[in-house]
Homo-oligomer: A and B are copies of this chain.
Amino acid sequence: MLSPESLGFVAGALITLGFIPQLIRVFKLKSAREISLLFNSSLLAGIILWLTYGIFLSLFPVILWNGIAAVLVAILLYAKLKYGRQ
């Protein structure tokens, strides 16, 4: 039951799905002043690289969750650019 594979699924789900309340919060407040642009960009670049890493090593949970996270973080970056230039 507690295989590394299932751990990876739960870990990725927690992180990736956690971006949903963060996105809701920023869009609801229409403010992203506190979100660091450097954090956001660095995160997006890193997620795309993890996705590549997962593809190289055929780590399914890594591919799945980083693929979805890339989309969510791209939306957060859009929100930052729209609502909160530094």
Contacts and interface: CB of A to CB of B under 8 A. Distances in A.
A60 interface: no
A71 interface: no
Quickly give the copy total for this chain.
2
Given A7-B49, A22-B36, A53-B8, A15 B42 contact: yes
Contact of A32 (B34, B42, B56): B34
Interface residues of A, number: 42
A1 interface: no
B57 A10 contact: no
Interface in A1-48: 4, 7-8, 10-19, 21-22, 24-26, 29, 31-36, 38-43, 45-48
